[in-house]
């Protein structure tokens, strides 16, 4: 569709702010890798433009890393890991705590980065910064997770001691949608638990998801080589990060398609893959639901950060008896959401982060309308902006509902019975999250338990993450869990030490 002025956006104000002007930036600017405690300028490497999604103009550049850069990063991490693991838990926790305080001190700089690199509005920035602080705080407490557990033995006079040790080196590949948080969700606990890390952030958010993380830990006093950040495209260096022989664990957050490749590459090296992948999350609204609460949750879960979260609502499954009212109310709310450049005060919905994702959303939307879906609100799209869109008359097998659209689109699908709602919700390869709105708590719990997902939220919406609660999915949504004790399992190894206190009798 054609270009037109955006709600809440002054088209004349197309400024491309420099990332290098930020107080947070290292002396060299962002056009350098961080390896073995050094900011290494790009020299003869190619560069990758950092694009502002609202203006589609470059705001800086980062190095296009090579396999050789990845090799140097892993070598530095491997050389530094043992000395770091030998630091006391208090020492490791102190560095993470100092880094957390720096994230808070640089809050406004991060808000700026989220706007010009992610297309994230202030609300999204505040949510992400709060999540980042929370996951770092929990990581501090995880540093002292190495107590000894004694178990009985079937052999007389023997003691069995179970201890934990750092896994060694952790490779982290993070995405562009919540780049700081989803990098830190792996980096902070890995460091606190005594591991060294090689981080490859998304090409689209290489600064806030990677280089800024390095800058924070550098200022916090992390020893050289313990955290290394290499920027570059997934097609050029992603495989090198995932398939390297050094890491004991490879952590990846992103699409299921790429996650399968990362998991296979890691497994080939006998590295443990920790994968948090895509979702097709259902927001179920029963006939007795409180529609005020259901619509509130539906708006927040569909349109926050333009629906660009793996746990966003992908489908609204609504009982036929309240379907029309729900659609009408959801559409009215969507129409009122302020959209525009995220640097503008009051903007809630910003641009889609990149051209590829924008084209995907538009394609799924147009193909679904061709099949009979009706636009009740929004539907327009221009440049990298997609209006908050509500669709009625949607079938569960239409592209916008069957595929993870990752955009500000709310397809509403009717159902007749709880059984049908459960069947529709489970009719996907994904199993990440979901939500159920129902006033009968026993009925709601029954529906929740029958959903094939790793997480379900009753009388809320799927966009929930708490850093002390296991987070992850089933099926094509990933392997393993993040947060709290679950991440300790992923980033440490259990060692069995037995002690034969009394002479043992052998058969020969």
Q: Which residues carry out catalysis? A: 276, 310
Residue that has been written with the tokens 């996907």 in this structure: 428
For residue 382, what are the β-bridge partners? 385
Question: Phi, psi (5° rounding) for residue 27?
Answer: -60, -35
Question: Phi, psi (5° rounding) for residue 429?
Answer: -75, -15
HEC secondary structure over 151-204: ECCCCCCEEEEEEEEECCEEEEECCCCCHHHHHHHHHHHHHHCCCEEEEECCHH
Cβ neighbours, 10 Å, residue 150 = 10
Question: Phi, psi (5° rounding) for residue 156?
Answer: -65, 135
Residues contacting 475, CB < 8 A, separation 6+: 429, 430, 431, 452
What whole-number distance in Å separates Cα of residue 94 and Cα of residue 430?
Answer: 38
What whole-number distance in Å separates Cα of residue 209 and Cα of residue 101?
Answer: 17
Q: For the packed helices 484-491 and 179-192, what is the interaxial angle rounded to 10 degrees?
A: 60
Alpha helices for 197-342 (secondary structure H): 212-219, 239-243, 256-268, 291-303, 323-335
Helix (H) or strand (E) holding 272: strand 272-276
HEC secondary structure over 444-462: HHHHHHHCCCCCCEECCCC
What whole-number distance in Å separates Cα of residue 429 and Cα of residue 475?
Answer: 6
* DSSP assignment letter at 504: -
């Amino acid at each position: 569709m054609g270009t037109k002025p955006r709600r809440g956006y002054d088209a004349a104000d197309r400024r491309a702010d420099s990332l290098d002007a930020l107080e947070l930036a290292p002396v060299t600017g962002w056009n350098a890798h961080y390896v073995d405690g050094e900011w290494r300028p790009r020299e003869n490497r190619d560069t990758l433009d950092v694009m502002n999604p609202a203006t589609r103009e470059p705001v800086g550049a980062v190095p296009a890393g090579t396999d050789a850069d990845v090799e140097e990063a892993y070598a530095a991490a491997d050389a530094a890991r043992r000395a770091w693991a030998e630091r006391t838990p208090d020492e490791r926790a102190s560095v993470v705590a100092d880094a957390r305080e720096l994230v808070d001190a640089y809050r406004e700089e991060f808000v700026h980065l989220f706007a010009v690199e992610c297309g994230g509005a202030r609300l999204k920035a505040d949510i992400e910064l709060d999540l980042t602080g929370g996951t770092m705080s929990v990581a501090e407490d995880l540093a002292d997770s190495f107590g000894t557990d004694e178990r009985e033995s079937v052999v007389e006079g023997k003691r069995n001691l179970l201890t934990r040790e750092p896994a060694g080196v952790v490779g982290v590949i993070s995405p562009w949608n919540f780049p700081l948080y989803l990098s830190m969700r792996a980096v902070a606990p890995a460091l606190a638990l005594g591991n060294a890390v090689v981080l490859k952030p998304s090409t689209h958010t290489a600064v806030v998801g990677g280089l800024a993380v390095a800058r924070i830990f550098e200022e916090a006093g992390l020893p050289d080589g313990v955290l290394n950040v290499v920027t570059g495209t997934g097609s050029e260096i992603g495989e090198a990060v995932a398939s390297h022989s050094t890491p004991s664990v490879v952590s990846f957050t992103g699409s299921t398609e790429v996650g399968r490749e990362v998991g296979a590459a890691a497994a080939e090296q006998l590295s443990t893959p920790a994968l948090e992948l895509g979702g097709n999350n259902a927001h179920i609204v029963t006939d007795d639901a409180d529609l005020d609460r259901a619509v509130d949750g539906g708006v927040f879960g569909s349109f926050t950060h333009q629906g660009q979260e793996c746990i966003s609502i992908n489908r609204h499954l609504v009982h036929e008896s309240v379907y029309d009212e729900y659609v009408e109310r959801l559409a009215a709310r969507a129409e009122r959401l302020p959209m525009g450049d995220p640097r503008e005060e009051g903007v809630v919905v910003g641009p889609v982060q990149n051209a590829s994702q924008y084209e995907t959303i538009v394609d799924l939307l147009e193909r679904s309308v061709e099949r009979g879906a009706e636009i009740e609100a929004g539907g327009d799209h221009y440049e990298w902006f997609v209006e908050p869109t509500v669709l009625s008359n949607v079938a569960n097998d239409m592209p916008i509902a069957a595929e993870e659209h990752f955009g500000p689109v709310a397809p509403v699908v009717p159902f007749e019975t709880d059984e049908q709602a459960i069947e529709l919700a489970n009719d996907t390869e994904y199993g990440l999250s979901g939500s159920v709105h129902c006033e009968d708590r026993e009925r709601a719990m029954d529906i929740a338990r029958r959903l094939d997902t790793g997480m379900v939220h009753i009388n809320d919406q799927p966009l929930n993450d708490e850093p002390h609660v296991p987070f992850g999915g089933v099926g094509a949504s990933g392997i393993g869990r993040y947060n709290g004790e679950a991440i300790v399992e992923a980033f440490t190894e259990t060692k069995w030490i037995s002690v034969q206190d009394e002479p043992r009798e052998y058969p020969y």
